[in-house]
Amino acid sequence: MYIILEGVDTAGKSTQIELLRQKFTEAIFTKEPGGTPLGQKIKELVLQDTPSTLAEIFLFLADRAEHIQKLIKPNIHKRKRIFSDRGFISGIAYAHIKSALPIPKLQELNELAMQGIKPDGIVLLLLSPQELLRRISSKELDTIEQRGIEYLLEVQNIMKRLIEESSYPYLIVDASLPKQKILHDIVEFVKEIDEH
């Protein structure tokens, strides 16, 4: 079972992943980008070498293809439970904003990178504009967050739309809820998928 967790920075993905780790001790926890040794190096290239827009999109697609081939596929085959911190949903959202390439084109590129693998569920931790502003203000800004709250809201809106319009089971959860309540909702969502 392959579950993707999505959410903009500060939405609390890391916290939930830590809680899920304690709950599902047998599960595989991974991430995009950087979920494989090659992916780690690709991530470094993107951070250090300031690729042109399109080169960056292809680098992240290479990371995704490698991750699917070397980590997701073999673990699906072993019937493992896999939680991935980010996946093609953020991939498409960030790439669309950066490049202005049409969403359908980016979906096509990502389908190629996914090699027929589909997630069994997608969880989006959704922040209200007020809550996002509050969290950003109270935090040291890193490079992504410096791009501003409008940028993060735009990314989040695209992610939400992509998830709602997809054919995959999904859970959109208010990221301002107490972390144990969010965890509970995610665990219930996972159980529902298990039962299908």
Closest contact distance (angstroms) between CB of 179 and a second copy is 35
CA torsion sign for 127, 129, 134, 140 is positive
Residue 38 CB, nearest approach to a second copy (Å):
5
Secondary-structure percent of the chain, ordered helix, strand, coil, rounded to 5: 60, 10, 25
- In the bound complex, what is the minimum distance in angstroms from residue 121's beta carbon to a second copy? 24
Question: In the bound complex, what is the minimum distance in angstroms from residue 56's beta carbon to a second copy?
Answer: 8
Q: Which amino acid, one-letter code, is at 23?
A: K
Give me the helix-helix angle, 37-49 and 53-67, nearest 10°: 170
CA dihedral over 112, 115, 118, 124, signed as positive or negative: negative
Q: Contact residues for a second copy (CB under 8 A)?
A: 37-38, 41-42, 45, 49, 51-59, 61-63, 65-66, 69-70, 105, 109, 112-113, 115
User: Three-state DSSP class for 78?
Assistant: coil
Residue whose C-alpha is closest to residue 47's, from 149, 152, 140, 143 = 143
Q: Which is nearer to a second copy, 111 or 174 (CB)?
A: 111
Output the smallest distance, CB 51 to a second copy, in A.
5
- Four-CA torsion 158, 28, 67, 18, nearest 10 degrees: 50
Q: With respect to a second copy, which residue has the nearer C-beta, 9 or 32? A: 32
- Here the tokens at position 98 are 């950066």
CB of 33 to a second copy, least distance (A): 12
Nearer to a second copy, 115 or 157 (CB): 115
In terms of CB distance, is 51 or 169 closer to a second copy? 51
Nearer to a second copy, 15 or 75 (CB): 75
User: Which residue, 9 or 66, has its beta carbon nearer to a second copy?
Assistant: 66
